[in-house]
Amino acid sequence: MLWVPVTIVAALAQTGRNAAQAGLTKRIGTVGATQVRFLFGLPFALVFLLIVRLATGEPLPAPGARALGFTAIGALAQIGATALMLKVMQARSFALATAWIKTEPVLLALGAALILGDPLGPGMLLAIVIATAGVIISSTKPGVAFWGEVTPVLTGIAAAGLFGLSAIGYRGGIVTLGDGSFLIRATSTLVIALTLQTAVLILWMALADRQALVASFRVWRASLGAGFLGAFASEFWFLGFALTAAANVRTLALIEVIFAQAVSIYWFRQKVSRRQWFGMAIIVLGVALLLRAEART
């Protein structure tokens, strides 16, 4: 059950990264702030790999074609999912976009069972559905149609599907990487993924949005902070993927919604509605059922 504290740390770090990126968005735009997690996160991922290499004494695993293929799928799917997520957020409210995108664990559980053969019992599936329902309840408001317009809905579901495919790719890359501890395999896969993503995004931004790329270097201190938090969160996500099924990790990760609400309450002094409290209670119920089902396997 080591994956449980690992995932909680990842969710906490991601909450911090999201807050850091939100601050950067006001200074260098959405695209510029988004690419920071990859470009400025890669140096820290390399440091993490060096630390793991020195601590374990294990050689770096040589990735085969299958491991590289899975990791490339995960890296590219994450870029595509992020782009679709931003598109949904521009078209609809942030809360509704979050609700659609957080349907990811359900799609991920089904996809991982088919592609990777990850276990998916009825108790686990029920827990995933309940936790996801909690996110939808806490992210929407009375009188606001969850299904709304067709195009944003389909875009949000597509983003969720790509985020799920990304997690499947990363777990597939880790488990097929070869011999070695979960530490060295997870961290090596993270470095490979960030290298691919950085190369793709630098090329694309150099051609399509050079101004945002240059702006991220002008605010390099803030960019490094967001990059570190992004790499730190990703390190623990990948460790989670190495320890258990990707669907378990991403379902437990829904507690990030609760962390985000806590930040809103104590940092931004925002009020939480009864509907949001109810939704968070449903998330906790779903997570508890997931942990119970996983402990029995």
For residues 246 and 258, give the distance between their C-alpha atoms in angstroms, rounded to a whole number: 20
Give the three-class secondary structure for 16.
helix
Is residue 181 within 8 A of residue 56, CB to CB? The reply is yes
Q: pLDDT at position 101, please?
A: 73
End-to-end CA distance of the chain: 11
Q: pLDDT at position 178, please?
A: 80
User: Helices (H), strands (E): how many in the chain?
Assistant: 13, 0
For residues 137 and 278, give the distance between their C-alpha atoms in angstroms, rounded to a whole number: 8
For residues 271 and 274, give the distance between their C-alpha atoms in angstroms, rounded to a whole number: 10
DSSP 149: S
User: 122-139 and 274-296 are packed helices; what angle lies between their axes, rounded to 10 degrees?
Assistant: 160
Q: pLDDT at position 9, please?
A: 92
On the CB side of 232, how many CA atoms lie within 13 Å of its CA? 16
Nearest Cα residue to 254 out of 144, 145, 143, 133: 133
For residues 63 and 177, give the distance between their C-alpha atoms in angstroms, rounded to a whole number: 5
Q: What is the chain's pLDDT, residue by residue, as a tens digit (297 residues)? A: 789 999 999 988 887 777 776 677 777 776 777 778 888 999 999 999 999 999 999 999 988 999 999 999 999 998 888 778 767 666 555 556 666 777 778 878 888 888 888 777 788 888 888 888 887 777 666 655 555 555 666 777 888 889 889 999 999 999 999 888 999 999 999 999 999 999 998 888 888 878 878 888 888 888 888 889 889 999 999 999 999 888 888 888 887 777 766 766 666 566 767 877 787 788 888 888 887 776 666
**Which residue is listed with tokens 């990777």?**
116
Q: Kindly report the number of other CB atoms within 10 A of residue 281's CB atom.
A: 14
Domain span including residue 284: 3-296
Instruction: Specify the number of domains making up the chain.
Output: 1
Give the three-class secondary structure for 18.
helix
Is residue 30 within 8 A of residue 86, CB to CB? The reply is yes
